[in-house]
A and B are shown apart, each in its own frame.
Chain A
């Protein structure tokens, strides 16, 4: 059976070149990057090379790159590291209702610790409401944290305008760019952000390694204590193989960015347009224009996302769903709910997220399987009637 992977927003396969680059740092140059001997120094040199590769992809300087264990730690560090540090300037944080749980749960914790958080809503197009964000800013606002690309819909958030607002009010701006880096051009100077989170495993790097970009001059309380690693910003022996993998993944992403935009967008658009044409009662969630090129979030009325997911999985196709049933509770996707998707369509939602490793044949196979599978699910439903 053919196996097709369309769940690249969850994680991506490691690029073979990334794996090859990592291998020597398990077996030969395995030293602790803090050690003075040759083993350590070779590891350190590779780590610094990777730091330059990451910086190069996002238009940063090497010393602005802090290695972490991944996107969640980067988000936690940005919020939990910065908020207490800036406490004497204010206690108000602005974020959005469509952020990743790494931001939302951290904000909830900060609220328990005495901070005030405003959650800016998003419109039907999946973009946050700029007017509400602007109105939410107070004299006590110390930080704005808005994601760059939404993980469920792929909607690109208007960061340029948000950074103008933040600058004019002298508020620090963090962005969770985990789903943006390697997929669309990301330049921290052009975006004018102070902090940015990224994760290796979303761009064909290994799991367990990420970055918090911290603009030069921005200070925060480190989450981990115990050593001078990462210029006293993140204690703990560096994950050198992971860091090398991330560096290589960033270099490959930079080389392939143009191809990604053209080829992956082409695949995604063909997938989406054909589905909308061939499957009645299907619809796109979020904007179709202000969107990263690799994601489409579709709803199939009269189906249940998780059942559809299992059925596709049996035919070798991996996707994900915003249905309540996949969440371990009866609560459906907070993102789709926040952008006003009706609950029956949230239940029947499937996210297809592509990568540069997907092919035309992958899309062809999906287009062969999906209409029949949706049809079968609807045939089984006592409720479904085609509109």
Chain B
């Protein structure tokens, strides 16, 4: 049901935590109650650090962890181009009914960047 990457991210929770003095966004999914908080720190237009907090299913946890890994070291403009499909590719697939996890992570990132 879940790819090895999703399972590993859920078990290891890389970049889990809060990041003081950073930009952050919180998104939720009212249908299943999942909540994701994303934190991003930038220097000279480049994302230097990112962390996440999550409450919910493996998809949202793995997506939160994955996006922190994907954005680190990327210029903001490049990070803005990350789509749901890219995140799902990174996760090596999500079950169809779990796609919302990736959507929440991308939405959180865009809320930070666009604000």
Smallest CB gap from B57: residue in A: A325
| Cβ-defined contact, B53 with A325, below 8 A | no
Residues of A near B13 (CB, < 8 A) are: 376, 380
| Cβ-defined contact, B37 with A382, below 8 A | yes
Residues of A near B58 (CB, < 8 A) are: 304, 306-307, 310, 325
The reply to whether the CB of A95 lies closer than 8 angstroms to some CB of chain B is no
| Cβ-defined contact, A307 with B32, below 8 A | no
Given the known interface contacts A330-B32, A380-B53, A383-B55, the answer about A310 and B95 at a Cβ–Cβ threshold of 8 Å is no
The reply to whether the CB of A85 lies closer than 8 angstroms to some CB of chain B is no
Q: CA separation between A379 and B18, bound complex, in Å?
A: 10
Residues of A near B95 (CB, < 8 A) are: 328
What is the 8 Å Cβ interface bit string for chain B, positions 22-51, against chain A (1 contact, 0 not)?
Answer: 000010000111010100000000000000
Q: CA separation between A381 and B57, bound complex, in Å?
A: 11
Q: CA separation between A70 and B111, bound complex, in Å?
A: 53
How many B residues face the partner with a CB closer than 8 A? 26
| Cβ-defined contact, B57 with A306, below 8 A | yes
| Cβ-defined contact, B11 with A330, below 8 A | no
Residues of A near B11 (CB, < 8 A) are: 310-311, 313-315
| Cβ-defined contact, A329 with B97, below 8 A | yes
The reply to whether the CB of A302 lies closer than 8 angstroms to some CB of chain B is yes
Residues of A near B97 (CB, < 8 A) are: 328-330
Residues of B near A381 (CB, < 8 A) are: 35, 53-55
| Cβ-defined contact, B7 with A314, below 8 A | yes
| Cβ-defined contact, A307 with B10, below 8 A | yes
The reply to whether the CB of A323 lies closer than 8 angstroms to some CB of chain B is yes
Least Cβ–Cβ distance between B55 and chain A, in angstroms: 4
| Cβ-defined contact, B61 with A380, below 8 A | yes
Least Cβ–Cβ distance between A23 and chain B, in angstroms: 34
Least Cβ–Cβ distance between A173 and chain B, in angstroms: 37
The reply to whether the CB of A324 lies closer than 8 angstroms to some CB of chain B is yes
Residues of chain A touching chain B, judged by Cβ–Cβ distance below 8 Å, are 302, 304, 306-307, 310-311, 313-315, 323-325, 328-330, 343-344, 347, 376, 379-384
Q: A310-B11, A314-B8 known; 19 other A-B pairs, CB under 8 Å?
A: A304-B55, A304-B56, A304-B57, A304-B61, A306-B58, A310-B7, A311-B10, A314-B11, A314-B12, A325-B98, A328-B95, A329-B97, A330-B32, A330-B97, A347-B33, A379-B16, A380-B16, A380-B54, A382-B35
Residues of chain B touching chain A, judged by Cβ–Cβ distance below 8 Å, are 1-2, 7-8, 10-13, 16, 26, 31-33, 35, 37, 53-59, 61, 95, 97-98
